[in-house]
Chain A
Amino acid sequence: MDSFRSKIIPVTTILAAVVVAWYVFAVVLNAPFQRDLDQRANETPGTAEFIGKTLSQPKPTLPAPHQVAVNFFENTFLRSVTSNRSLVYNAWVTLSSTLLGFAFGTALGIVIAVGIVHVATLDRSLMPWVIASQTIPILAVAPMIIVVLAAVGITGLIPKALISTYLSFFPVTVGMVKGLRSPELMHLDLMHTYNASRAQTFWKLRVPASVPFLFTSMKVAVAASLVGAIVGELPTGAVAGIGAKLLSGAYYSQSIDIWSALVAGSIVAALLVMVVGVAGRLVDRAMGGRPA
């Protein structure tokens, strides 16, 4: 009851406000085109009828929530999952490259962080490049990665996954550098009094201390991975995936398709972040974490 009042009610209130605002904007934004149509057809509908029409255009400027909901429902539950119009199928295509890129990115992020923490030269030489890498717009880099890799014969999943890697290694590197440096001075002194080797200090102190930081940064990284996978689908002329749906929707002015692909992408992102969060909590519990 408490969590109901403290969480559900505020969230629903905001959601309701968003839906109302969305309908208002849908009417306002779709009205000029509807007026055009009516004029050409020599029709003068009443206000209620006019509003109804603005909310049921086949290619609206801003689709109404119910149009997106119907489209999303049809393309998710009523289509065979092997159909290339199925959102499940397209989400799976994007998800597979997201997960592969996320795995690469996490591994790369950890390796770079370990290097930065343990090698003073890398700390000074690598960290600026790591930060600079994220200032380059991914939309500019993505086509080059795809083209270059295609030239050496690598196509399909890997190039897309590499774009995810490019975006997701960064939060993991930053988080893990912080995590591996998080042990208190007292704990480091303690290891020193035992004459522990660097490897022992690393495995018995730094690694366990960094685990909470790893999961926090992995939550950011997995969402970035999904963005990377979607962006990776745009310049490849990909035939499937959420990015491909967005692109073809834009190409054919299928605004409802674009929005329902967006919804699908958001749901995938939320699920991914949730899965990482749950995994983090399970690991924390296994490591003796205090139940919140």
Chain B
Amino acid sequence: MTGQSPAVVSASKLGLTFQTNDGPVQALSNVDLTIGKGEFVSFIGPSGCGKTTLLRVIADLEKPTSGAISVNGMTPEQAREKRAYGYVFQAAALFPWRTIERNVALPLEIIGLSKAEQAERIKRTLELVNLAGFEKKYPWQLSGGMQQRASIARALAFDADLLLMDEPFGALDEIVRDHLNEQLLELWERTNKTICFVTHSIPEAVYLSTRIVVMSPRPGRVSDVIESTLPRKRPLDIRETPEFLAIAARVRDGLRAGHSYDD
């Protein structure tokens, strides 16, 4: 364990092997990674490369079978118990029987905040994701993009410094996705959170990240880590600049190198 490391996430020689009926599957192997405070790190790779598994290990939803990992200097389990992170799933995963505001209130109820404190935080986080005015709506009354924004609000509501996002915009169409990417950057800028973001879209990863972790499958491993040279402030049209395209090309190369096309 790295002990008093200032890193938000620190993994060394991390491995995870699932025992399946078809024999052991190495989902993660020898992952070394340090994520500092305020970084926006994307994990990109083909399916089966372990990017979601890595995020789930950070979140203590999976236990590693080898190596070490610390979150905020603690074990993932301790970090989870201290509610160190907010997790955004691939689907919005809102409770259909709760209104938007009650959905955002869910973690606050579990933590045991007072009604007044809950109301204040619901108001603040719904404004942060531009959902003010939709408090009393039920999830089915909202579009997919709005539902996912509500689930981000829910992850932000209890003020964890770390946001773990597992392909949050994967199910949305391109236009909505662009819009949400822009909003997410703005939100990251304003809140100064550390964000770990799983995606399989190269433009999304390059547009959002300060650092891109390229992963490859069988066994799931980190094949390249690319530091972005883009400025923190990024308008959407930055995606047409040569700098952006150069980073995207490097990511694509990294993906190709790690991917064997014969299987």
Contact = CB atoms under 8 A, between A and B. Distances in A.
A193 B87 contact: yes
A200 to B, nearest CB: 5
A196 interface: yes
B93 interface: yes
B110 A194 contact: yes
A287 B99 CA distance: 9
Interface stretch (B77-85, B120-128, B173-181, B216-224): B77-85
Interface string B33-69: 0000000000000000000000000011100000000
B138 A186 contact: no
B18 interface: no
A186 B85 contact: no
A101 to B, nearest CB: 30
B80 A288 contact: no
B89 A189 contact: yes
Contact of A194 (B61, B107, B140): B107
A288 B91 CA distance: 19
A74 interface: no
Interface of B: 59-61, 80-81, 83, 85-87, 89-91, 93, 95-99, 106-107, 109-111, 138-140, 158
A289 B89 CA distance: 23
Contacts of A204: 95, 106, 109-110
B91 A200 contact: no
A124 interface: no
B138 A288 contact: yes
A192 interface: yes
Given A186-B93, A189-B61, A193-B59, A288 B87 contact: no
A131 interface: no
A194 B96 CA distance: 18
Interface in A12-61: none
Interface string A69-95: 000000000000000000000000000
Nearest to B87: A193
8 contacts: A186-B91, A189-B89, A191-B110, A193-B61, A195-B83, A196-B110, A288-B139, A289-B97
Contacts of A287: 97
Interface string A251-292: 000000000000000000000000000000000000111100
A187 interface: yes
A195 B59 CA distance: 11
* Secondary structure type dominating chain A contacts: helix
A190 B164 CA distance: 12
Nearest to A190: B93
Contacts of B99: 288
Contacts of A184: 93
Given A189-B61, A204-B95, A208-B97, 13 more contacts: A186-B90, A190-B89, A192-B61, A192-B80, A193-B80, A193-B87, A195-B80, A195-B81, A195-B83, A204-B106, A208-B95, A287-B97, A288-B96
Contacts of B85: 193
A161 B192 CA distance: 64
A147 to B, nearest CB: 46
Nearest to B80: A195
A186 B89 contact: yes
Contacts of A189: 61, 87, 89
A187 B110 contact: no
Question: Sorted from nearest, which 8 A-B pairs have the closest CB atoms?
Answer: A288-B138, A287-B97, A193-B87, A186-B93, A194-B110, A208-B97, A194-B107, A196-B110
B62 to A, nearest CB: 10
A191 B81 CA distance: 12
A208 B98 CA distance: 10
Nearest to B108: A194
Interface in A209-239: 211
B37 to A, nearest CB: 20
A205 interface: yes
Contact of A205 (B80, B90, B95, B140): B95
Nearest to B59: A193
A289 B59 CA distance: 32
Nearest to A203: B109
A288 B97 contact: yes
A179 to B, nearest CB: 13
Given A193-B61, A195-B80, A290 B140 contact: yes
Nearest to A196: B110
B110 A190 contact: no
Contacts of B139: 288
A43 B35 CA distance: 106
